[in-house]
Structure 1
Amino acid sequence: MSTPPFSPVEAREARLRMGMTIEQVVGAMARLGVNLSPGLVEAWELGESAPSEIQLFALADALWCRLQY
């Protein structure tokens, strides 16, 4: 199984559309069992790193986004 592509720009835009702060995204992901720091989410949005597959699925769920393969 291949990992869905990740777009830092689309991730940031989705978060802003939801009116969420990075800290709120981290909290939503923690409720899904994926614990991470706000700095990591910021690094994703800046394109400095990319989420793992599990993190990506949790991020999509937290932001109410559908993953596109």
Structure 2
Amino acid sequence: MERHIEFEVEMAKNYLANHRIPSNILNKRDSAHSLNIGEMSLIYLYVPKEFEKRARKALSEFQDELDEDN
């Protein structure tokens, strides 16, 4: 998963944690600049390879729940 908004990635990480799926966040945003566009501002959510299938399913459900709320 990759997003420009850190809060969205944190919410997804918490959702995965609730499903007992480990994950790590990698923030590539340059702290010296407040870029919110382009590849230099992306925030990534990584999971171990053995959890990839479960994580994709859980994140799809997570996105569906977000879409229902809007």
Q: Is TM-score (shorter-chain normalized) higher than 0.5?
A: no
Higher RCO (CA-CA < 8 Å; seq separation 6+): 1
TM-score bracket for this pair, using the shorter chain length: 0.3 to 0.5
* Rg (Cα) greater in structure: 2
TM-score by length of 2: 0.43
Which structure has more strand as a fraction of its residues? 2
TM-score by length of 1: 0.43
